[in-house]
Amino acid sequence: MRILHLSDTHLTRAAGPNADGIDPRESLAGLLRDCGQLTGLDAVLVTGDIADDGSAEAYAAVHALVEPFATERGIPALYTTGNHDDRKPFTDTLGVPLTAVTVIKGHRVVTLDSLVPGQVYGHLDDEQLAWLRTVLATPAPEGTLLAFHHPPIGLDTAVQHTLGLINPGDLAEAIRGTDVRLILTGHFHLQLFGLLGGVPTWVTPGVVNRFDLTGPAGGERAVRGASATLVDLGGPQSPRLHVLHARDPQAGQVAHEIDAGTMAGLIDRWRPPRR
């Protein structure tokens, strides 16, 4: 099975450039144009922060771009929530549930909802994890992959420790001994690979921009350039993950930069409460 994995489109109610001078609609449209010649796709997956402002207009605009791409190929488009999303317009406008099970060529895709309203970090609550255990109690013919927004892995940086999934241990326990073969996430706007309880876990770079870790230590630098991941499942080499970069004459140019002192203040404000 082959998935085109997108994340962090960050569209808003109004068309046009955002505060960084990037047009999120054009970033998404351009990336899909450049992916138009990909063959063998079985699904398109968008893992959250679909809307930057949670507006119905933003979801409608994403739907108008992604659905024709999927429909032309006869494949499903799957979506998950991110911290910028709003659950009601997400479900009403995209017409999808917050959590779902989709089986494609024997591979089971479970989409989860890691959104904590008003917060930047993510969490999977006990009810959702109990539901996940029930789903996973019966193995799928070709195994299961999980998709949600907030990564349960991170680099040894304050911002990733603060803004990722705050209960990765609970998820690791829920999937221990099951047929989960891969976890796909977004949120960090950069590519990152690791293991959660031995399960390969992938963070795809953002569509609206990507974060550049060669910037000054402790700060944050976002640069232009839409990216996505091509995910191949099945066979002895599975999973295989290949990053795709849209053609953009401005790719790599700095979109915004936050110095270390300002970033430290933001992290303190975003830090999740002790549990």
In a domain, 275, yes or no: no
12 and 56 Cβ atoms separated by less than 8 Å: no
67 and 74 Cβ atoms separated by less than 8 Å: no
Q: Is the pLDDT of residue 216 over 90?
A: no
Mean of pLDDT values over 15-44: 96
- Average pLDDT score, the chain: 96
Q: Is the pLDDT of residue 274 over 80?
A: no
Mean of pLDDT values over 194-207: 98
3-state secondary structure of 79: strand
Q: Is the pLDDT of residue 256 over 80?
A: yes
Torsions phi, psi of 264, nearest 5?
-60, -40
- pLDDT tier, 137 (very low <50, low <70, confident <90, very high otherwise): very high
In a domain, 60, yes or no: yes
Number of domains in the chain: 1
- pLDDT tier, 273 (very low <50, low <70, confident <90, very high otherwise): confident
27 and 61 Cβ atoms separated by less than 8 Å: no
pLDDT in tens, 46-81: 999 999 999 999 999 999 999 999 999 999 999 999
Select from 68, 62, 65 the least CA-distant residue to 80.
62
In a domain, 152, yes or no: yes
User: What is the reported pLDDT for 1?
Assistant: 96
pLDDT in tens, 3-27: 999 999 999 999 999 999 999 999 9
Q: Is the pLDDT of residue 215 over 90?
A: no
Q: What percent of the chain has pLDDT over 90?
A: 95
Report the chain's terminal Cα–Cα distance, integer Å.
39
Mean of pLDDT values over 106-130: 98
Write the single-letter amino acid at 63.
Answer: H
CA distances 88 to 62, 93, 130, 137, 248, Å, are 16, 8, 23, 30, 34
CA distances 84 to 140, 204, 216, 251, Å, are 32, 17, 26, 24
For residue 97, say if its preceding peptide bond is cis, omega within 30 degrees of 0.
no
Q: What is the CATH number of the domain that holds 118?
A: 3.60.21.10
3-state secondary structure of 91: helix
Instruction: Return the residue matching tokens 């991170």.
Output: 154
pLDDT in tens, 150-196: 999 999 999 999 999 999 999 999 999 999 999 999 999 999 999 99
User: Half-sphere exposure of 72 toward its Cβ, with a 13 Å CA cutoff?
Assistant: 13
Domain range for 264 is 2-270
In a domain, 191, yes or no: yes
Mean of pLDDT values over 139-148: 98
Q: What percent of the chain has pLDDT over 70?
A: 100
- pLDDT tier, 275 (very low <50, low <70, confident <90, very high otherwise): low
Instruction: Return the residue matching tokens 């507006």.
Output: 55
Strands 240-245 and 227-232: antiparallel
- pLDDT tier, 200 (very low <50, low <70, confident <90, very high otherwise): very high
